[in-house]
Amino acid sequence: MHRLRHARCAAALRAVLFFTAAAFLLLSFCTESFDAGALLLGAIVSGVILLSCCLLSWLAPHADKLLILTIFFLCALGMVVQYRIEPETAARQLMMLGIGLAAMLLMMALMRRPRIFRVLSIPMALLSLGILGALIFVGKESGGAKNWISVGGILFQPSEFVKVALVFVLADAMTERTHVRDLVPLFLFVGAVAALLVLQRDLGAAMLMAGTFLMVFIVATSNIGATLAALLTGGAGAYASYLLFDHVRARIAIWQDPWATYSTSGYQIAQGLMAIASGGLWGLGLGQGSPKMIPAYHTDYIFAVICEEFGIVFGVGVIALYLLIVVRGVLIALHAEDRFSMLAAFGATAMLAVQTFVIIGGVIKLIPLTGITMPFVSYGGSSMIACMLFAGILEGVAAKSGASLEDALARETQPSNGKEDGADYEADEEERA
């Protein structure tokens, strides 16, 4: 069993490295003169991936390798596309990837002692509210949303870190308490976060947080009635904002027919759709498209760029990889050692899933567009670090439960050899529950 998983991951690692090498090799020939920078970057990215894999299997032999390789593939894809559009942003993205990896390892280490986050839950909640509240006064506007903050000349997007905090706050609040009566403070917190985000016109983040909250809530409490009530309230709120706010109405109108307002508000969606359509099934080829036609090409709209140059088949493949991340995340949550870890792992998975769905769905006109980043691929330091922190939560939970599973196995195998590891594990789980 273990050997099988190991072999599969070796193949996956080779595939990731092959993709990275091939793509950067192609990029080095794309320009008029041979571009050594592309090869250098390709070598660095491959090196970072290889090194991280070695480091990870040395530090945490029970980490989910398929999960991390899928994430690395998406990161590599992001680097390739960033470099293809603007080599300078790719260099910055590489730095962010490095910081992100460090953040992931740190998070994995911290997740060995989940108590830390349980203690920190309330300070994190208060800090989140404080930052989001402060943003209204000191925030910098970008892309219609006032959600940036400048610290020492470096721009941050605090809502990205609030996402991480929210996952822990949710997990902590619902570890012991599952009755609606006991969760009122949590509701107030989530409501305040969503309201503050809406005030900053960061509708995407508000939707993301609310969606994740609902998913963790229903999973933790099985309270369908309250979830439906929350959904109805959310739906009513959405409808009210549709009636009240012009910018919400405009956004719906753009979604229904971006071509009608092509020269103004529909421009971005229409450009994205044209890019996707131009790519066709197999894409125009790396370096052959015109990605800079689309506003937000290296952040929110990177999926359109990927579809244009790599094709729809590849785009569906990318969606499938995100699904793989989600499936692995759910499996990790199911096998978590304690309830807090389980909820944290599920929260991280749900956050990544909703974020992916909202942004890809927006780009392909399935749902109204709200500006958020595509996990692991989009350019953006805060987003990359936040996503890597989620990866760290998942890998930390996986590593811990895997390690204790091995301990349990080692103890069990002496008296009885016949049992299968899976059955053992289940029994172990039941006992603890």
Partner 1 sequence: MNTRRNIKGMLAVFVALFLLLAGYLVYIVGAYGAYWFASPYNTRVTKQKNTVLAGTIFDRRGLALATTNEAGERNYAADESMRLATAHVIGDTAGQTLGAEALFAKYLLGFDQDLGEQLSYLVSGKQRTGADIMLTVDAALSEYAYSLLEGYNGAILLMNYKTGEVLACTARPGFDPARMKDYATGGYTLAEGSMVNRATMGRYTPGSTFKIVTTIAALRYLPNVQSRTFLCSGPLVFEKESGTLVNDGVNPYDETGALREEYILLRDHEDARHGQLTLEEAFIHSCNHVFAQLALEIGETNLRKTAESLGFNGEFLFDELVAYPGTYGDAETDFELAWSGVGQHTDIITPVHLCLITCAVANGGAAMEPKLLKGVSGMAGIEYKSLAPEVYEAFLKGNEAEFLAACMRGVVQRGTGTRAAVDGYTVCGKTGTAEVSSAKNARAHAWFTGYIDSDAHPYAITVIVEQAGGGGTVAAPIAAKVLERAVKTKAQ
- Which residue lies nearer to partner 1 by CB, 283 or 392? 283
Sheet with strand 154-156: strands edge to edge: 140-142, 145-151, 154-156
Provide the token pair at 108.
Answer: 């994995």
Residue 201 near residue 370 (C-beta atoms within 8 A)? no
- Which residue lies nearer to partner 1 by CB, 239 or 259? 259
Which amino acid would we find at residue 134? A
Please name the residues in contact with 411: beta carbons below 8 A apart, sequence gap of 6 or more: none
- Which residue lies nearer to partner 1 by CB, 135 or 343? 343
Quote the least distance from Cβ 338 to partner 1, whole Å: 12
Question: Binding of partner 1 at residue 91 (CB under 8 A)?
Answer: no
Torsion-angle region of 153 (φ positive above 0: left; ψ -120 to 50: alpha; else: beta): left
Provide the token pair at 163.
Answer: 């996402």
Question: Binding of partner 1 at residue 215 (CB under 8 A)?
Answer: yes
Residues 285-344 that bind partner 1 (CB under 8 A): 285, 289-290, 293, 307, 312, 315-316, 319-320, 322-323, 326-327, 330, 333-334, 339, 342-343
Question: Binding of partner 1 at residue 353 (CB under 8 A)?
Answer: yes
Q: Report which of 205, 258, 290 is spatially closest to residue 365, judged by C-alpha positions.
A: 258
Quote the least distance from Cβ 243 to partner 1, whole Å: 26
Please provide the DSSP assignment of 364-405 as one string: TTSS-----PPTTTSS-HHHHHHHHHHHHHHHHHHHHHHHHH
- Which residue lies nearer to partner 1 by CB, 91 or 327? 327
Element counts in the chain: helices (H) and strands (E): 16, 3
Question: Binding of partner 1 at residue 365 (CB under 8 A)?
Answer: yes
User: How many residues lie near partner 1 (CB under 8 A)?
Assistant: 50
Name the segment binding partner 1 (CB under 8 A); options: 118-126, 130-138, 216-224, 410-418. 216-224
| Interface residue with partner 1, options 24, 117, 213, 346 (CB under 8 A) | 346
Provide the token pair at 319.
Answer: 């969606």
Contact pattern from residue 245 through residue 264 relative to partner 1, giving x for each residue in contact according to CB under 8 A and a dash for the rest:
--------------x--x--
| Interface residue with partner 1, options 60, 76, 173, 220 (CB under 8 A) | 220
Residue 62 near residue 399 (C-beta atoms within 8 A)? yes
| Interface residue with partner 1, options 48, 364, 384, 388 (CB under 8 A) | 364
Rounded to an integer, what distance in angstroms lies between the CA atom of residue 210 and that of residue 186? 12
Residues 27-66 that bind partner 1 (CB under 8 A): none
Residue 63 near residue 104 (C-beta atoms within 8 A)? no
Rounded to an integer, what distance in angstroms lies between the CA atom of residue 353 and that of residue 230? 20
Question: Binding of partner 1 at residue 350 (CB under 8 A)?
Answer: yes
Quote the least distance from Cβ 316 to partner 1, whole Å: 5
Residues 117-136 that bind partner 1 (CB under 8 A): none
| Interface residue with partner 1, options 85, 90, 273, 398 (CB under 8 A) | 273
Quote the least distance from Cβ 217 to partner 1, whole Å: 10
- Which residue lies nearer to partner 1 by CB, 50 or 327? 327
Residues 275-294 that bind partner 1 (CB under 8 A): 275-278, 280, 282, 284-285, 289-290, 293
Rounded to an integer, what distance in angstroms lies between the CA atom of residue 168 and that of residue 123? 11
Alpha helices (H) in 179-223, listed in sequence order = 184-199, 203-221
Please name the residues in contact with 296: beta carbons below 8 A apart, sequence gap of 6 or more: 143, 268, 371
- The footprint of partner 1 (CB under 8 A) covers 215, 218-220, 222, 259, 262, 270-271, 273-278, 280, 282, 284-285, 289-290, 293, 307, 312, 315-316, 319-320, 322-323, 326-327, 330, 333-334, 339, 342-343, 346, 349-350, 353, 356-357, 360-361, 364-366, 433
